[in-house]
Amino acid sequence: MSRKLLEIENLTTSFQIGDEYYAAVDDVSLTVNRNEVLGIVGESGSGKSALAFSIMRLHNRAKIEGKIKLEGIDLAKASTSDLNKLRGDKLSMIFQDPLTALNPLMEIGAQINETLILHRPKMSKQERYDRVIELLDLVGITGPEYVYQQYPHELSGGMRQRVIIAIAIANKPQLLIADEPTTALDVTIQAQILDLIRELRDEMDAGIILITHDLGVVAEMADRVAVMYAGQIVEIADVHTLFENPLHPYTRSLLNSVPTEGQDRLHVIQGIVPGLQHLPRTGCRFAARIPWIDESVHEENPLLHEVTPGHFVRCTCHSYFYFPEKGKEEITHGDT
Amino acid sequence: MAILDVSGLKVHFPIKGGIFNRTIGHIKAVDDVSFSIEQGKTYGLVGESGSGKSTTGRAIVGLENITAGKILFEGEDITSRESKTKDMRKDIQMIFQDPYSSLNPRKRVRDIIAEPLRNYEKLTKNEEKQRVYELLELVGLNPESIWKFPHQFSGGQRQRIGVARAIALKPKLIIADEPVSALDVSVQAQVLNFMQDIQKELDLTYLFISHDLGVVEHMCDEIAIMYRGRYVEQGTREDIFENPQHIYTKRLIAAIPDINPRNRDAQYAFRQEVKREYENSFDDYFDAEGLAYNLQNISATHRVALPERG
């Protein structure tokens, strides 16, 4: 059996602003295998959440082009009723904000129950109750019988996030999309949640897409990493390659702006992520933020190049990139 | 002499209940906290949500009522509300966590930054404008920004407007409550670098409140760890990161994600080990109520909450 679970081909998601459509996700192709965590990193505005919402088909009025194949079913073309059957069952998502993702007027147990009622209509009431208790236990909530009848406001942020995870995994999804699952949490709880997601991957043989801006989390969790900038994937590689031999200027800039030991001065990426309407649609999209690099080294129409097996980088500018504060001698690092 | 000296600070909130809405108990948000900060240094206050770190900061600026304790600023007692004179408020400023909600969306940048100036200094229109221009230049924003509204800026730029407002009156102490938590790493780098630059330029003292140990390690000279309103450990950056003594500190440090994927398994094993130690030795480090003990000196700079010996 093929290990490929999700195959995205040339996905473009555009939003209408005024009379025109602007692509927030621009020609993205990637695969997620079973028992694999694919990390997606990038700044806010880089299109990573737009990509997740496209896979879940949660955008209301977006134009979606390309293919999103989950075990042969093309999600991009699926009807709403088909999607309703898939979402929460084979395909599910952990949302970023535990404070707003739960219904404040419903008991915790009932909220987890909802997804079971919808997708497992044959289960008896008692079976469902047992399953909810089992799920609460699985996500590490102590006293599940008690929490079952509590309301969201009675729980802490970490507990709520676990409830959201319990809902997401209730039907043992094949593909789990986690959009910044730990951003709102304290470090010790973050560590527990990440351990939990890792266990789920192994236990259910699931594919996981982990979206985050925290490079430390990616380093700890991901098997492969895709770096997104301005709606495009600019680099994709297995986690060791990406952290040890990052090539794209954006990846290297990001890694350099994280505080690490013995670093006096953090690297600052010049400029800001351009808004959707102001994205450069031709040439290297990152060029404007590395103005000290000669313009002639960028491709006119940058493509993803496979530099070593499985390691793809967009645009040729990476071979010429250097940090202005370090000087040019570093160039050799990027030559492959 | 220390610029800020806090001793025995307590902030307790009453819990109301019963038919007459009487006070039936207290939440001890900050319980017996003492520290002092030297001029020009950065003091880090670390803890999880609910540990009382923000309340401590807010109590110093005067945004919370103090139950007990004493706060000395440049040797002057500023504990009570009445003693927080206008002059003292000028010298202590605050940078807030969320650059999206701490700026009035209906005010232009000029009015936002000029507000503290208008409160304290009688300037002519032109002088005021000149000062705002200077401040904008100092925080690296375009002079045209003066006529813009907050929504026209990115998160990092907004946070810099907040910083410009905080330094408008040339304060001596800035309380930065999670100043970069809401920002992307690239923007975070920008704000942190900038805070270090103006610290040197204006000889500022920071009380840096954060839950992110990586950022705290990068910024702070001295660090204190809080748990449920009490200090569990306090020391220099080296004391805390290279020689943590309290199990809670160890657990926090173990929970920081490692940026090198090669260390993944080792880090995971280490974390499990610390977790086991935390569970097994909880009683050795915390009293019957689950609170930290009083601090004991273990070196000239390093203090840890341990039960009294003997």
Cα–Cα distance between B179 and B162 in angstroms, integer? 10
Domain annotation for chain B: domains and CATH numbers: 38-64+85-228 (3.40.50.300), 230-310 (no CATH)
Q: Is B272 helix (H, G, I), strand (E, B) or coil?
A: helix
A67-115: per-residue pLDDT in tens? Answer: 999 988 999 999 999 999 999 899 999 987 777 889 999 999 999 999 9
Cα–Cα distance between A44 and A59 in angstroms, integer? 18
B243-284: per-residue pLDDT in tens? Answer: 999 999 999 999 888 888 898 889 889 988 998 999 898 888
Interface test with B, best of A268, A269, A277 (most B CBs within 10 A): A268
B151-176: per-residue pLDDT in tens? Answer: 888 777 888 898 889 888 889 999 99
* Chain B CB contacts of A157 below 8 Å: 49
| Contact criterion met (CB below 8 Å) for A178 and A197 | yes
pTM: 0.85
Interface test with A, best of B208, B259, B264, B276 (most A CBs within 10 A): B259
B284-308: per-residue pLDDT in tens? Answer: 889 888 888 989 999 999 999 988 7
What does the mean pLDDT of chain B come to? 88
DSSP β-ladder status, B92-95 and B173-177: parallel
Kindly list the domain boundaries of chain A, sorted by start residue.
98-170, 250-334
Cα–Cα distance between A43 and A199 in angstroms, integer? 27
Q: Do A213 and B185 touch (CB under 8 A)?
A: yes
A17-74: per-residue pLDDT in tens? Answer: 888 899 999 999 999 999 999 999 988 888 888 999 999 998 888 899 999 999 889 9
Q: Is the pLDDT of residue A124 over 60?
A: yes
Of A217, A240, A267, the CB nearest to B257: A217
Residues in chain A: 336
The tokens describing A204, both together, are 């259910």
What's the average model confidence in pLDDT over A259-275? 79
Q: Is the pLDDT of residue A158 over 80?
A: no
A188-197: per-residue pLDDT in tens? Answer: 878 888 888 8
Q: What torsion, rounded to 10 degrees, do the Cα atoms A117, A123, A128, A134 define?
A: -120
What's the average model confidence in pLDDT over A122-127? 94
Radius of gyration of chain A (CA): 21
Cα–Cα distance between A184 and A261 in angstroms, integer? 25
| Contact criterion met (CB below 8 Å) for A65 and A10 | yes
| Phi, psi of B134, deg, nearest 5 | -60, -45
B119-134: per-residue pLDDT in tens? Answer: 888 889 999 999 999 8
Q: Do A188 and B252 touch (CB under 8 A)?
A: yes
A284-331: per-residue pLDDT in tens? Answer: 999 988 989 888 889 888 989 999 999 999 998 998 998 887 766 544
Cα–Cα distance between A35 and A33 in angstroms, integer? 6
A266 CB-contact burial (10 Å; exposed 0-12 / middle 13-18 / buried 19+): buried
What's the average model confidence in pLDDT over B29-36? 92
Q: CB of A241 within 8 Å of any CB in chain B?
A: no
Q: Is the pLDDT of residue A2 over 60?
A: no
Q: Is the pLDDT of residue A203 over 80?
A: yes
Q: At what angle do helices B125-138 and B155-167 cross, to 10 degrees?
A: 130
Q: Is the ipTM of this complex over 0.95?
A: no
Q: Is B218 helix (H, G, I), strand (E, B) or coil?
A: helix
Tell me the C-alpha to C-alpha distance, in Å, between residue A16 and each of A59, A61, A270, B230, B291.
12, 8, 29, 52, 55
